[in-house]
């Protein structure tokens, strides 16, 4: 039972991170078109609230916010911490 819940939560996490990556891509698109932008606080917040991997992939794939020191530092830190959390939780639940 625990493993089924873990898998469901993992799927939700992956879908959320896919969404975060898409948001980064949308903001890059808006920047190119000189349209309304997604606030940087929102982008960092998405990364902080368990969207680190999606934000990191969005930065790399879309070449977006890669020159901003705040993003260069915080997004990888959030991603690494979130991966560590997942490894610890997976070990607790699955073993």
Domain segments of the chain: what residues? Answer: 2-94
Model pLDDT, residue 95? 81
Q: Going residue by residue through the chain, which has 95 residues, state the pLDDT in tens, using 9 for 90 and above.
A: 788 999 999 999 999 999 999 999 999 999 999 999 999 999 999 999 999 999 999 999 999 999 999 999 999 999 999 999 999 999 998 88
pLDDT score, position 82: 97
Q: Exposed, middle or buried by CB within 10 Å (0-12, 13-18, 19+), for 36?
A: exposed
Residue 94, pLDDT score = 83
- pLDDT at position 1 is 77
Q: What is the pLDDT of residue 65?
A: 96
What is the distance between the alpha carbons of residues 43 and 75, in angstroms, rounded to a whole number? 10
Instruction: Judge if pTM exceeds 0.75.
Output: yes
CA distance 77 to 7: 24
């Amino acid at each position: 039972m625990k493993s089924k819940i873990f898998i469901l939560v993992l799927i939700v996490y992956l879908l959320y991170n896919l969404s975060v990556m898409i948001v980064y891509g949308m903001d890059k698109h808006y920047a190119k078109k000189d349209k309304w932008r997604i606030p940087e606080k929102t982008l960092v917040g998405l990364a902080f609230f368990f969207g680190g991997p999606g934000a990191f992939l969005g930065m790399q794939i879309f070449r977006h916010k890669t020159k901003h020191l705040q993003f260069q530092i915080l997004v990888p830190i959030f991603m690494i911490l979130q991966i560590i959390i997942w490894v610890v939780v997976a070990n607790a639940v699955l073993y």
